[in-house]
Amino acid sequence: MSTAPHAHAPSYGTPSHSTSSDGTPSHDNPVSGNPVSDEPYERARRRVIAKSVYQGMLGLWTLLALAQIAIWYLTTPNGHFWPVWPIMGTLIAAVAWGLPLYAPRPAVSERRIQAEMARMRRDA
């Protein structure tokens, strides 16, 4: 008898894909095993990844701000506090990047997408 030792081993973190009863693609939730529609799952997954990347960048920007303040303090402690300018620029960028991620409603709604598609069809 020759059977593969891991033929039936579960694949953690890799959802199995199937088709739901209405014909839309779905996959099994890796935690519960229940079928999940691809679109909401993928949207939520992308959003979680985007928020994780954003939080990592906030940490990096904080370290850079602290490094700039340390450089200022070690070189010209009584001079002009120049780190305020790069820190303010970074803060503006952080807010602009974070607003769409944490806004109560998405920046691009399905209604706006449909209206733009209708306009494009009309103009073509």
pTM above 0.85, yes or no: no
pLDDT tens, position by position, 67-102: 999 999 999 999 999 999 999 999 999 999 999 888
Q: How confident is the model at residue 8 (pLDDT cuts 50, 70, 90)?
A: very low
C-alpha distances in Å from residue 67, one per residue of 70, 71, 88, 98, 122: 5, 6, 15, 23, 54
Pairing of strands 25-28, 35-37: antiparallel
pLDDT tens, position by position, 17-65: 555 555 555 555 555 565 556 778 888 888 899 999 999 999 999 999 9
